[in-house]
Structure 1
Amino acid sequence: MKLFQHAYHKFLQTSQLRLSIYFFIVLLPLVIISLYVNNRANQIIMQKTTEQTQDKVESVMNNLELSLHHFETLTNLIAANHNINEKLKVQGTGMSPRTIVQYSELLQELWNISAVSLVASQITIYQMETHTMISTKYGGKRIESSAERESFASLSRLADQAGTFLMPQPQEGEGSVIADIVEANSISLVRRLTAFPDQNKASLLFMTLHKNTLRTLISPLLNSELTSLQIKNREGETILSLPTTDSGGNRDRDMLQVSAESSSYPIRLEVFRPIEEIYQETKTMRQFTYLIIACSFVLSMLISWGVYNRIASPLGRLKHAMKGLIGGDYDIRLLTRRKDEFGYLMDSYNQMAEHQKHLIQDHYEQQLRIARTELTFLQSQINPHFLYNTLNSIYWTAQNYEAEEISEMVLNLSHFFRLSLHKGQDTFTVEETITHLNYYLRIQQIRFLHCFHVVYEIHQETKTIPILKLLLQPLVENAVIHGLEQMKGDGVLIISSFLKQGKLMITVQDNGSGISEQRLQSIHQVIQEINGLTAPFSFLESPKKELYGLRNLCSRMRMFYGPEACIRFESQLGVGTTVTLELPLSSTTDE
């Protein structure tokens, strides 16, 4: 909780951080909309690709069914061919000369059928009794291996159950002869011939679909190197897989899978396409979107830094310089090359500080002993009209950047200067003095995040009484800086005025940290020292720099109001401080 409070306090104090966050908040909806549009575009592309691929798969499946139907019709014709069935009827298991002649004539028949067929690339008959394979591709061959004979026997049993079926791709370890019959990248149909009803004497017919025919059928689906397809039976066994080799790259990719079931055959066609390949069309758009988002955040950081550097930072420097000036340090200068309103304001401050320093050194200190008019040289002679216009320009610049706190601070600073320099008067009424102080206190309240509030207790009969200009400013400044700066929202500053025994009583009271006993003794010593002087206080004659503002205040009071005027400090460490000014009414005349 403390960490959060510290972060929040830092957030309120750091203008640059707030500006950056505000810019990010402005950019956030644009980023969300850009990402949403990007994602929605991908969804639409995926939907359209799925629909198009589904249409292609169904179209290919219809054409494949038609080709398989022609394929099956050809196998039926071969199975019903009387000459072929007669030539398969041999006596015994041996290879007699008659049997060899019959098989030669059978091979010639198969060659003739394959030559005129547009769909079959290979026709093979396996005779179970003699274990002989007759193929248009390999000729005649007797199967001697018991494992291969058992493989053919298994296919025969499967043909008894299913009738005609598509041959699954051979598994590892399966007979090499069957692997030769079932060509790679093609489909083979298997059925049993009815020349012999006895299963041990039955024959198996293998017919392989022509590769060119198959390639023409499936070419609409294989439109990229990364697309693959499979034809499987209902048991999940692979009948055809293209491409036959896989480098392993597709295994690690997310794939779009589209499938279609055959209504005439127990097969399913599945097509796999990498999702990355589908999104390739929008890849450039996504990259530009991310680049724009990144550039936007970078630009927002640069703009916020520029705004801070051009507005908030100069105001901070000006505030620090003015704080030093109020404290009596006239050697602070603001270095700038700017030609805008801030440049003019800083140059004006430098001129004011330099002028004020010269007034104190060359005029005020020399003339203070002989004339009351030297008080006018304690204030700067800056032209209030141009200074006010400059601050007003800064105020509207801050408004354009929506820097509300900066706008209010500049506005109050403008009013503060305007009243401080108004008409060159040396005195304000009590009411005008309170108005003047209020502008300064509003700046400090914003500066310290409203850690204190101000209560004014001004009696009606005191409002029109004139008092020396800037008389309360150092007291209020010390109360805020040294007393209330560390408060966390419960600080109270009370400014009151009333009449008592022919004197105007003005008090500045705070509930801040208070003043230590040693420090309080030093303050009383300075007051006694000023009251004991027979001539007005001179800064040039005093080598002491401590309590500079208090010495100034006491000297001006005594010179303007005479020895009857006094100032009292009452303070308790940890409780607060009360400063009381007693000004004789006989000397409070408006000049």
Structure 2
Amino acid sequence: MAEKNISTTTNNLLNIADWNITTFIHDFESISNILLGSNDIQSFLKQQKDESYAARTATNDLLANVTNNKSYINGVYIGNQHVEHMIKTSGESKYAFNIYHSIQSTETFEKIVQNNGNGIFFNRNDLYLLQESRSITYGKVINDINNFNPIGILVINFDEDVFHDMFSNLETTGNIAVANADSTILYNKDTSILSDAQIAAILPELKDNSMIKKEIDDRTYIINSRINQQSGFRIVSATLYQELIKEAVNLRNITSILILIAFIIAIVSAFLITQKITKQLTVLSNITNKMEDRKEKIEHISFDIEDEIGKIGNRLIYLYNRNNDLLIQLYETKLQAKESELITLQNHINPHFLYNTLNSIYWLAEKNKVKPIADMALNMSEYYKLVLNNGDHITTVRNEIIQIQKYLQIMNVRYNGTLDITYDIEEELLDYRILKLLIQPLVENAVTHGLSMKTDNKKLEISASLKGGIMCIAVIDNGIGFEHQPLIHSSGYALKNIDHRIKLFYGENYGLTIESEINKGTTATIIVKASINS
């Protein structure tokens, strides 16, 4: 058990170290991607000879910016057989001139070229940019961003001391080291625990994600190993076995104390929760007794909303009170319905009187041969006949269109025949059923508020079409329009009434929409469910 805990602890340590290295590698890859994708560097490397001062200056500025922001970078080189540029932050350059020619023949250069455009880390002195430096080198082929053909090579040297900054704050009772693929020790946090030579001697025995117990100089060590997949670096953790055992014993004692404390807390919590639940259930019982009486709303009683019983209880009170309110509204609605029936009967009588009066005016005008008055009276008579619709609130699209035609014939007399009216109604829709008085108020609104302000070219179009079981009826005018789109429920009574009637009869997915543009006109669209039966 102790060794299992030790393995878990050291694995967590290696996970953190591996994450730190991976983060560093990703940061490094980001730097290289910035350089490889730079238009300045692309332009510089595409020259057949170094003849653009501006390209070299821009390249130098970019490389200098990278080295200034990343203090661990010793030097950066980009180049090809035609042009090249290198910038260093310390030390002496290993090459006097023609660096590309010097490194082209190295084994490391070939590995970079053969790595399929991916970056590669290595620790070989044949491609160090600086003299007498303990550096790690990163190399990558630079491709043309337009056609992906190679146009050069990128080489970056960074100081091996970067690992010291990476792991200096890593808390561990043992040691942590990093070696490259050639088993060269790049970093050793504490040489007093194990020297570079001792760690290098152990490396052949280690496998990835492995743990071994090793006797070194009469002391037993637990050694774990992890290979970073991004760079190939091997991370090694070495800790004295006795130190880890001591930590395990301390952990066991602390765990026992915590279990005891948790047990005491559980008993106290169970008691408090039981008390709380009992209190909530008592309140719930009182509430149900009040509900049985059904005499009044439940007020001034509430539950603690921090538990499920409280939430359910408060919801139950809300639903009970809401149900009482709905019952009251139902009674009031029935009373209003009775009153509406009386008003409807009275309104039914008044249009009949007007209808009969208009017929009388018509025959009187015919008798005296006053044709315009006779036509207007006849149109109004037929208009009100269609409005009455034998007391039925459902009519046909055909009747609605005829009613509009009668209305517009009357209005055209008022406007001296300046109204230009077109109808685009699908023939099959004429016998479809629809709520009465849906279209005429929109036509009246278009004439009164849209076209009446114009002196000429007053065009009005009424269209109706069927789309997937939905009937769309549009009233389009080329009137003065308005700048802000109106909200139906904040507009006039007629528009609000139309939208409300549609939603009440057909459902919330149907209704009236208004679109308008200043000085271009307005479109009012009714969307209802298509029905050929009543």
Q: For the superposition of Structure 1 and Structure 2, which TM-score range results when normalised by the shorter chain? A: 0.3 to 0.5
Larger relative contact order (Cα-Cα within 8 Å, sequence gap ≥ 6): 1
Higher Rg of the two aligned structures: 1
TM-score, normalized by length of structure 1?
A: 0.32
